[in-house]
Amino acid sequence: MATETRPFNATSFNAYLTEDKRLMGVRCRACGMLSPEPRPLCRSCHSRDLEWHEFSGRGELSTFTCISIGPVYMVEQGFGRNNPYCSGIVTLEEGPRISARILGVDGNNPQNIRTGMDLVLALEEIDPEHPSLMFRPA
């Protein structure tokens, strides 16, 4: 694939996500380490022999928070004290974890949000101008 020659960095990560609609990370050819963040050096065995690896985008919710006091850019999107949003940690089915927005849950009722639930990547929701990972209940 032509895309596999992209450098291992955040620009490439975001381009895959927004243009190619794929969650692409890296795999170490030496030890098998997987990382959804494309890093140029294996943090397990320090090999520099890495390759792009596509993640399925399926995972489960490991923990989360519902945020009432957000940063300026979330406040500008209408979130706040009366409309908290949910962000959390997703364990991908391939093993690694990643931070993400969690859509399709009620930020005002965190007691109803269940850790362990299955999630899928909500690629269609990602804002190409401000890309970030978004998951929703599977």
Partner 1 sequence: MATTSSRRQLGRSVSIVGAGMSGFGAFADKDSRDLFVEAFQDLLDHLDQGMDIEDIECAYVGNYSSDLFEHQGHTAPIIADWLGMTPIPVTRIENACASSGSALREGIMAIASGMYDIVLVGGMEKMTNLPTEGVTDVLATAADALYEVPTGLTFPGIFGAIAKAHMDRYETNLDHLLKVAIKNHVNGSKNPKAQFNVTIRNLMERRVTRAEQRGQPVPDYNSEMDFLNDPGANPWIAWPLRLYDCAPITDGAACVLLVASDIAHNFTDKPVTIAGTGQASGRPLHDADELTSLSAARTAAARAYEMAGVTADDIQVAEVHDCFTIAEIVASEDLGFFEPGEGARALDEGRTALDGDKPINTSGGLKAKGHPVGASGVAQVAEIFHQLRGEAGERQVDNPDLEVGLTHNVGGTGGTCVVNILRKG
CB 59 within 8 A of CB 75: no
Nearer to Zn ion, 45 or 75 (CB): 45
Give 92 or 119: the residue with its C-beta nearer to Zn ion. 92
The piece of 49-57, 88-96, 117-125 that touches partner 1 (CB under 8 A) is: 88-96
The rounded Cα 132 to chain-centroid distance in angstroms is 7
Residue 84: burial class (beta carbons within 10 Å; 0-12, 13-18, 19+): buried
What is the x/- site pattern for partner 1, positions 8-27, by CB under 8 A?
-xxxxx--------------
Cβ 44 to partner 1 shortest distance, Å: 7
For the CB of residue 12, give the shortest distance to partner 1 in the complex, in Å. Answer: 8
Residue 48 Cβ vs partner 1, minimum distance, rounded to whole Å: 7
In angstroms, rounded to a whole number, what is the distance separating the alpha carbons of residues 137 and 81?
24
How is the beta sheet containing 34-35 ordered, strand by strand? Answer: 34-35, 23-28, 50-55
Report 97-126 residues binding partner 1 (CB under 8 A): 97-101, 107, 110, 115
Write out the residues near Zn ion by the rule CB under 5 A. 28, 30-31, 33, 42, 44-45, 47
Residue 132 interacts with which of partner 1, Zn ion, none, CB < 5 to 8 Å by class = partner 1
